[in-house]
């Protein structure tokens, strides 16, 4: 049995999806459907940039989901594999819900568009930043967060924890992490303090959008970032997506749940190889195959 994983924000790059669009009718249809729903030229920005535009949250989020589902649909047309589980890192959870049949593609893109706009607005109203802490224990980072008012945003893999919060809180936390012996502390190129309490208003706005969206039970269990457990009821999915915006992403725990079911073969859909890199640190024996380009699909 296998599991499907979907890329999160930050994995975007100029040129992503271009050869999928040129090579596979299934991918082309996904891009065209997304383009019709968005108020910017998705194909132009994905295929040719500029990079600065592609980095903007309200653009990068629907762009990454579109590329992920374009890759997934091209793969699905040629491979009759039924996964045991699906999961996506933060934003990627929406891709997983679309792929599982819980959300239609159109409803998913509308939600992502709203989510990106709400997160952008919250980031402007409540400025903040994020940083990745390398090689400190979770307990030590929790202690530093308590002393600095920073918050844990992502528990990605052993030795990699992301913190989030007001700029002054992150600056203080970085200094404390350095003093505590962190191997590195890397400020992230993001526009706000995502997965923290500074996103509370974005979460409230997202709840209103989710309440109006038709959500079905997924055909394949989708692991929640918020609980690191499968979610199968529409009301449970709605609540978890609201909490996910303002709470820590438990990616390592989510992956360990799937691994504990005896699954060691994964397919990662979407731009970049971030999830493959995280899995190497969670379980080096697990196999992750990336599906993001024409050559990847030809090799499978």
Which sequence positions are flagged as catalytic?
Answer: 90, 195
- Partner residues linked to 147 by β-bridges: none
Per-residue CA distances from 222 to 5, 80, 100, 291, 295 (Å): 10, 19, 7, 19, 27
* Alpha-carbon torsion angle 216, 222, 225, 230, nearest 10: 100
Residues in Cβ contact with 141 at an 8 Å cutoff, skipping those fewer than 6 apart: 133, 152, 161, 163, 177
- How are strands ordered across the β-sheet holding 129-134? 151-157, 160-165, 129-134, 184-187
Instruction: Count other Cβ atoms within 10 Å, centred on residue 110.
Output: 18
Residue 177 β-bridge partners = none
Residues 6+ apart with CB under 8 A from 74: 20, 23, 24, 26, 27, 297
Which tokens belong to 68? 């992920």
Beta strand segments in 57-176, E: 85-88, 129-134, 151-157, 160-165
């Amino acid at each position: 049995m296998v599991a499907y994983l979907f890329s999160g924000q930050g994995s975007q790059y100029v040129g992503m999806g271009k050869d999928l669009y040129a090579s596979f009718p299934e991918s082309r249809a996904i891009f065209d459907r997304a383009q019709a729903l968005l108020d910017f030229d998705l194909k132009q920005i994905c295929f040719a940039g500029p990079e600065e535009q592609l980095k903007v949250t309200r653009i990068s989020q629907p762009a990454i989901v579109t590329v992920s589902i374009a890759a997934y649909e091209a793969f699905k047309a040629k491979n009759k594999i039924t996964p045991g589980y699906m999961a996506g890192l933060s934003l990627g959870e929406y891709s997983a819900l679309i792929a599982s049949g819980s959300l239609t593609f159109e409803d998913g893109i509308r939600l992502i568009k709203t989510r990106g706009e709400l997160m952008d607005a919250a980031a402007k109203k409540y400025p903040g930043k994020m940083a990745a802490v390398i090689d400190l224990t979770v307990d030590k980072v929790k202690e530093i967060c308590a002393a600095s008012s920073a918050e844990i945003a992502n528990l990605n893999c052993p030795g990699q924890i992301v913190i989030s919060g007001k700029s002054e809180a992150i600056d203080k936390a970085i200094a404390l992490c350095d003093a505590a012996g962190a191997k590195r502390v890397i400020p992230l190129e993001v526009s706000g303090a995502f997965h923290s309490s500074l996103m509370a208003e974005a979460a409230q706005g997202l709840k209103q959008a989710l309440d109006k969206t038709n959500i079905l039970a997924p055909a394949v269990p989708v692991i929640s970032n918020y609980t690191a457990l499968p979610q199968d009821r529409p009301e449970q999915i709605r609540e978890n997506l609201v909490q996910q915006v303002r709470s820590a992403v438990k990616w390592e725990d989510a992956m360990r749940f799937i691994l504990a079911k005896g699954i060691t073969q994964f397919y990662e859909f979407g731009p970049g190889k971030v999830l493959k890199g995280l899995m190497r640190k969670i379980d080096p024996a697990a196999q992750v195959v990336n599906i993001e380009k024409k050559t990847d699909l030809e090799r499978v």
